[in-house]
Amino acid sequence: MVVTVDQIREGGLFLNETLSESFLTHALADVKDTGFRPDGPALLHVKLQKTGSGVLLRGSTEVTVHAPCRRCLADVHLKIPVSFVLNLVPKASLAAGDDEEGAEDDQSERAGSFDLDRADEEPFDGKHIDLDPLVREQVLLALPMHAVCREDCKGLCGSCGQNLNEGQCACAAEQVDPRLAALKNIKLN
Ligand SMILES: [Zn+2]
Ligand SMILES: [Zn+2]
């Protein structure tokens, strides 16, 4: 969804936008497949505020996803809170600011209440704000590296595939260090 800067009034612009399941599916799998899939759509809350030359964008949502447990492959459902603050800066003013190292500090002091220095800068054309790629990136950033069904998941037996959370398999007793297992097969003359 695209917002134009003209739509943002003095008090800011608030939007509630549904992130469809297909939007989220693409966000999670397009660039690099994360293994996570959405359980359904999510509701995104956005607030846009003009700052001197740019726009401050605050967004929050909660995405429910599932993925196979990294160790035992059981389906894991996770609620991922996503919240972000981005300082959208017109490309023109970014280019102009390149020679003045101090310019950025002055700006963040003046807009102190916005906490601009802690917000990530994101260039835009100065007129249109395309929320989709920004939201997609923030959802990706909020994801954990991988899913585990529980911290102490025992995973699957490497030999028989038994889910060790459900009980020990028969192989456990004769489990041998793979390096030693290789030695066992060497016949000594
Ligand atoms: Zn597991
Ligand atoms: Zn086994």
Nearest ligand to residue 161 Cα: 2
In 3-state terms, what secondary structure has residue 3?
strand
* Interval between CA 144 and ligand 1 midpoint (Å): 15
User: Hey, how many other C-beta atoms are within 10 angstroms of the C-beta on 42?
Assistant: 23
* Interval between CA 18 and ligand 1 midpoint (Å): 31
Left (φ > 0), alpha (ψ -120 to 50) or beta: where does 135 sit? alpha
pLDDT in tens, 138-171: 999 999 988 999 999 999 999 999 999 999 999 8
pLDDT in tens, 85-113: 999 999 887 766 554 444 444 444 444 45
Least confident of 66-75, 115-124, 151-160: 115-124
**Predicted local distance difference test score (pLDDT) of residue 60:** 98
* Interval between CA 183 and ligand 2 midpoint (Å): 21
Whether 133 and 122 have beta carbons less than 8 Å apart is answered as no
Confidence class for position 116, pLDDT limits 50, 70, 90: low
* Interval between CA 154 and ligand 2 midpoint (Å): 12
* Interval between CA 75 and ligand 1 midpoint (Å): 8
* Interval between CA 36 and ligand 1 midpoint (Å): 15
* Interval between CA 161 and ligand 2 midpoint (Å): 6
Average pLDDT, whole number, for the chain? Answer: 85
Map tokens 């249109």 to a residue: 128
CA distances (Å), origin 146, targets 4, 38, 92: 36, 14, 39
pLDDT in tens, 24-46: 999 999 777 889 999 999 999 99
Least confident of 8-12, 84-88, 170-174: 170-174
Sequence-separated contacts (24+) of 172-177 with Cβ below 8 Å: none
pTM score: 0.75
